[in-house]
Amino acid sequence: MSQEAGASREAFAVPSPGVTGGAELARHHELTERGGVESSGLDVEPAGPGAGPRDPEPLPELPADRFLDRERSWLAFNERVLELAEDPETPLLERANFLSIFASNLDEFFMVRVAGLKRRIATDVATRTVTGQVPQQVLAQIWTMAREQMTRHAAAYQKTVAPQLAEEGIHLLRWPDLTEDEQTRLFSLFRKKIFPVLTPLAVDPAHPFPYISGLSLNLAVVVRNPATGHKHFARVKVPPLLSRFLEASPQRYVPVEDVIAAHLEELFRGMEVLAQHVFRVTRNEDLEVEEDDTENLLKALEKELLRRRFGPPVRLEVEESIDPEVLDLLVRELKIRREEVFAVPGPLDLTGLRSIAALDRPELKYPKFVAGTHRDLAEVESASAPDIFAALRERDVLLHHPYDSFSTSVQAFLEQAAADPDVLAIKQTLYRTSGDSPIVDALIDAADSGKQVLVLVEIKARFDEHANIKWARKLEEAGCHVVYGLVGLKTHCKLSLVVRQEGEELRRYSHVGTGNYHPKTARFYEDLGLLTADAEVGADLSDLFNRLSGYSRRDNYRRLLVAPRSLREGLLTRIGREVEHHRAGRPAWIRIKVNSIVDEAVIDALYRASQAGVPVDIWVRGICALRPGVPGLSDHIRVRSVLGRFLEHSRVYAFGGGGESEVWLGSADLMHRNLDRRMEALVRVTDPAHRSALVRLLTSGTADTSASWHLGQDGTWTRHAADAEGRPLPNVQELLIEARRKRRGTGD
């Protein structure tokens, strides 16, 4: 960390996590689960030495260059993923997995962000970014950064990960490296299972250049007719349903395209195969649906999904060894610019390394961790399964996934509601869920038993559109009331509401979360959720669901901040209050944990808070357009990023509140799309123990004594994984896992 940033923390008086280490995290979980009383004083923090009432001083104008470019910031995030793949301290198969994640992330970045930039340029609606650059300049920077990262990515695979896997008996080979017996075995596999599904497509005056589907692997093949001596070009698509790496013999794998390339003579009988080169095209796969002019959103989206298959290309990947004439042909026929051609050592498409990372070699992975049932749910006395409704009548339950089991908390909550004869109605939002979702099954069971079930399915959830359309129809067929949200807005909030008859009254049980109702990703996405029987939260969710399903225009809620109407304004108001608290000599601080922070209004408010002397800590996983540590602008702002075995996904907003902390959690990141174009919801956490636990979590994640990346004022991220003596710094995720294991081991 820079000296300037370090000096700016002198006024931020909190107990140092370096003193207590893992105990801080253990205390976080103890408070989260038991509802204990916090006594460390974290919620009442002095504003700093010499703080006291004083007249506000006029603040200087904010500089024009106060924002970082969001596209470069995203690429910097993916570079942090790449650093984990390059890190020798990362378990070997996890390094292979991070290589796969990096490749998949970059694919999506080109499909959406680069495609969007190109579309705006092509339609002549491109404007300067907040950094003052025109989109053409941003594109040029993207190509340069992406090219450098892809080169590093290929080198990490070829020079370190693959050789080290070989030392562990897992061999990732090319065709010439195989033994004769292995080649014979794969030839048999080719004839039986691969050859029948291959379709070579010739390119000549009678056969135009074929359409190349996005992200497919392809072979550009040059053959010669021995009778005429003429050369011909053909394309062979690698069938996408085939395994990316084929097992030649136990623990010895070869890319599927190598097997096809070795047997091209079988496809071009009577022709002489002169050359073959692997290539891959990335296309614009973002969706554009004009909702205001669409009578049936479901049908319009289905039509748009068909169109997406034929989006224009935005990137061409080729192996370094490609023949210049073949490359010229591909560039010409695909109508792609030379700057968009990326030549790297093979094999292409390392997203397929996920299958290698999934091999059953536990000694080459992170130590296994299985989430346990949250104690407040497990302790409820019942003749069979825990009675979640009884637990919530006793206290709110703050969940922290994946450390707390999703299946025995949120999933069990909905399954119990579906089976309970006293439950009258269930209302639910679904943004993403799994292919065999028990959540969907529970909702269908509830509808089958006569309960009123309302499900808001966001069919515009990017890259999950097909799946969500499928679930929407399945739910409708089961008798659920299915709606698709509001025109022009994606519904991204994570909400469940259960209405239950209890004696003469109706009681509402609620869940507000930061992550999707997706049982599979809940095992490796870090998320928070609040289960509660609080009447105000239940009333708020009733009002919000009425707005989502009907014509209610309510904007004011009791314990919710809801986008696009009140969320940004609510956060800005609370940031402003911290400035007032600081000037009055009361405890004041701001801590935020989000996936991305881009919104200029919020960033400017944080700059003003920093200028006033309010300490600000930001824990961000991905994009950050804020410049920390700039003298006179953001001296009191620190930005940290934590990456590890779990995907940090929760969103938390905490404020000093003049001595009585105020903490919110929910679905919203600080981006324009979240605050202006989505239905998002944050819930205020009122339990003092839960507030303290969340503040401790934020403190630990941003502490200098925790392993993380630190953002500099120039936009560069520096990894801090060791202390001054070279000892590894603890990772927040591992500390949380260890705290949970110790609790189970002692039965404490």
CA distance 70 to 95: 26
CA distance 293 to 265: 53
What is the separation, in whole angstroms, between the first and last Cα of the chain?
A: 37
What single string gives the DSSP state of each residue in 455-480? EEE-TTSTT-HHHHHHHHHHHHHTT-
Point out the domain boundary residue: 555, 585, 607: 555
Q: Give the contacts of 145 (CB within 8 A, at least 6 positions apart).
A: 72, 75
Residue at 218 is within a domain: yes
CA distance 188 to 200: 20
DSSP 204: B
Tell me the binding residues for ATP.
105, 525, 621, 649
Comparing CA positions, the residue from 397, 465, 399 lying closest to residue 431 is: 465
Other beta carbons within 10 angstroms of residue 424's beta carbon come to 15
Active-site amino acid positions: 492
- Unique residue bearing structure tokens 């590093």: 152
Burial class from Cβ neighbours inside 10 Å (0-12, 13-18, 19+) for residue 604 reads: middle
Same domain, yes or no, for 431 and 321?
Answer: no
CA distance 500 to 106: 46
Burial class from Cβ neighbours inside 10 Å (0-12, 13-18, 19+) for residue 115 reads: buried
Same domain, yes or no, for 516 and 658?
Answer: no
Q: Quick one: how far is CA 276 from the chain centroid? A: 37
Structural domain harbouring 238: 176-346
Same domain, yes or no, for 169 and 184?
Answer: no
Residue at 36 is within a domain: no
CA distance 43 to 660: 6
Residue at 535 is within a domain: yes
**CA–CA–CA angle 176, 178, 182 (5° rounding):** 135
- Please report, for the domain that includes residue 106, its CATH number: 1.20.58.310
SS (H, E, C) 157-187: HHHHHHHHHHHCCCEECCHHHCCHHHHHHHH
Burial class from Cβ neighbours inside 10 Å (0-12, 13-18, 19+) for residue 569 reads: middle
Beta-strand relationship, 616-620 and 313-319: unpaired
Residue at 46 is within a domain: no
Tell me the binding residues for Mg(2+).
432, 462
3-state percent helix, strand, coil for the chain, nearest multiple of 5: 40, 20, 40
Same domain, yes or no, for 184 and 297?
Answer: yes
- Unique residue bearing structure tokens 């299985």: 370
Point out the domain boundary residue: 539, 555, 571: 555
Comparing CA positions, the residue from 110, 529, 553, 121 lying closest to residue 351 is: 110
> What was the pLDDT predicted at 2?
40
The token duo for 467 is 């799946």
> What was the pLDDT predicted at 298?
53
Q: Give the contacts of 361 (CB within 8 A, at least 6 positions apart).
A: 93, 168, 170
- Please report, for the domain that includes residue 342, its CATH number: 3.30.1840.10
> What was the pLDDT predicted at 63?
95
CA distance 150 to 157: 11
Question: Model-level pTM?
Answer: 0.88
Phi, psi of 179 (to 5 degrees): -75, 165
CA distance 288 to 268: 41
> What was the pLDDT predicted at 385?
72
CA distance 230 to 606: 68
Q: Give the contacts of 731 (CB within 8 A, at least 6 positions apart).
A: 642, 644, 706, 707
- Unique residue bearing structure tokens 């004439």: 325
CA distance 725 to 36: 36
In sequence order, the β-bridge partners of residue 593 are 619, 652
Mean pLDDT by 10 residues, the chain (748 residues): 35 33 48 40 36 57 94 97 97 98 96 88 79 89 96 97 98 97 97 94 84 93 94 94 95 97 95 96 68 47 52 93 95 94 95 97 95 83 73 96 96 96 96 81 94 87 65 84 81 96 96 94 96 97 92 84 95 98 98 98 98 98 98 97 97 97 97 94 97 97 96 97 93 93 58
DSSP 714: T
Say if CB 629 and CB 635 are below 8 A apart: yes
Q: Report the amino acid identity of residue 723.
A: D
CA distance 681 to 426: 18
CA distance 101 to 85: 9
What single string gives the DSSP state of each residue in 61-92? PPPTT-B--HHHHHHHHHHHHHHHHH-TTS-H
CA distance 684 to 636: 25
Torsion, Cα of 130, 133, 139, 145 (10° steps): -80
Residue at 363 is within a domain: no
CA distance 345 to 349: 11
> What was the pLDDT predicted at 49?
37
Same domain, yes or no, for 161 and 228?
Answer: no
Point out the domain boundary residue: 490, 525, 555: 555
Same domain, yes or no, for 711 and 638?
Answer: yes
Q: By three-state DSSP, how is residue 654 classified?
A: strand
Q: Give the contacts of 711 (CB within 8 A, at least 6 positions apart).
A: 620, 624, 628, 639, 640, 641, 717
- Unique residue bearing structure tokens 């300490």: 615
Q: By three-state DSSP, how is residue 393 classified?
A: helix
What total of structural domains would you count in the chain?
4
Same domain, yes or no, for 531 and 582?
Answer: no
Say if CB 490 and CB 459 are below 8 A apart: no
Residue at 43 is within a domain: no
Same domain, yes or no, for 108 and 141?
Answer: yes
Same domain, yes or no, for 180 and 281?
Answer: yes
> What was the pLDDT predicted at 306?
53
Same domain, yes or no, for 82 and 148?
Answer: yes
Question: What crossing angle do the helices spanning 732-746 and 688-702 adopt, rounded to 10°?
Answer: 130
Comparing CA positions, the residue from 62, 71, 8 lying closest to residue 624 is: 71
CA distance 120 to 128: 11
Phi, psi of 705 (to 5 degrees): -90, 5
Residue at 510 is within a domain: yes
Half-sphere exposure for 190 (CA within 13 Å, toward CB): 22
> What was the pLDDT predicted at 67?
97
Tell me the binding residues.
105, 432, 462, 525, 621, 649
- Please report, for the domain that includes residue 681, its CATH number: 3.30.870.10
> What was the pLDDT predicted at 222?
95
The total number of residues shown for the chain amounts to: 748
Same domain, yes or no, for 570 and 645?
Answer: yes
Residue at 364 is within a domain: no
Element housing 540 (H / E):
helix 535-549
Same domain, yes or no, for 281 and 259?
Answer: yes
437: left (phi over 0), alpha (psi -120 to 50) or beta: beta
